[in-house]
A = this chain, B = another copy of it.
Amino acid sequence: MRELVYGVLDKNRKALSLYEIEQQFDNVDRSTIFRTLKTFQDNLLIHSVDDGSGAVKYALCDDDCTCSLDDLHYHFLCTKCGQTHCLKNIPIPAVDLPEGFNFENANFVIKGTCPNCQG
């Protein structure tokens, strides 16, 4: 199962929701996939994004990804097709937080239309 789920994420190259992953199988229970994804996350194979679409999405980490530390990148949610892309090539600028605030992690989601949905 883990290999199959990994395969789906690898094939799609974008962030998928639990439901979307479930759709790609015929007879696999949500909970199984859910737990598989959780395992992946615990082992830093994938990262999750809450893009505001209502469902958390999951995407593969890069080989050298250390997720919570420095794999920060923008995510792009297309408001037309609903797909979420990882914009790994765009660096996230350092944020100058006010005194007393301590940076741990960040979630930067940009919304708009993706190349497939221009018209």
A80 to chain B, nearest CB (A): 10
Evaluate contact between B97 and A104: CB separation under 8 angstroms: no
Total copies of this chain within the assembly: 2
Taking a contact as CB atoms closer than 8 A, the residue among B52, B74, B105 that contacts A110 in the complex is: B105
Which residues of A line the B interface, CB within 8 A? 50, 52, 74, 76, 79, 87, 89-90, 93, 95-115, 118
Given A50-B50, A52-B50, A108-B108, verify A97-B103 contact (CB < 8 Å).
Answer: no
Evaluate contact between A103 and B98: CB separation under 8 angstroms: no
Evaluate contact between B93 and A114: CB separation under 8 angstroms: no
Evaluate contact between B107 and A52: CB separation under 8 angstroms: yes
Evaluate contact between A90 and B100: CB separation under 8 angstroms: no
